[in-house]
């Protein structure tokens, strides 16, 4: 799980830095989708380790919102 989180974080950061440097924001939906998946994985991990009263209750709805917005932004 940690390896997946690290890979997703690096890919999201790389796409975001590329977009900022080149001013080409055509990869923003992909970055948002991967960010939503990253937040979902963090939320699931929080639920596993700390139970119901944890930050997982914030990360899961936030990830669903980010994923939904990313899917609507694809053309």
d(CA 63, CA 34): 10
- Tell me what pLDDT residue 13 has: 96
Closest to 66 in 3D by CA, of 25, 43, 34, 42: 34
Q: Is the pLDDT of residue 3 over 90?
A: yes
Q: State the CB neighbour count (10 A cutoff) for residue 29.
A: 16
User: What is the domain range of residue 11?
Assistant: 2-73
- Tell me what pLDDT residue 37 has: 96
Please name the residue that has the structure tokens 């930050």: 55
Count how many Cα atoms sit within 13 Å of the Cα of residue 75 in the half-sphere of its side chain: 3
Counting the structural domains of the chain, the total is 1
């Amino acid at each position: 799980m940690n390896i997946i989180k690290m890979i997703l974080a690096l890919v999201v950061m790389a796409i975001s830095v590329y977009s900022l440097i080149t001013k080409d924001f055509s990869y923003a939906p992909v970055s948002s989708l991967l960010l939503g998946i990253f937040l979902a994985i963090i939320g699931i991990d929080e639920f596993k380790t700390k139970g119901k009263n944890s930050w997982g209750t914030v990360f899961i709805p936030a990830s669903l919102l980010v994923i939904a917005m990313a899917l609507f932004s694809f053309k």
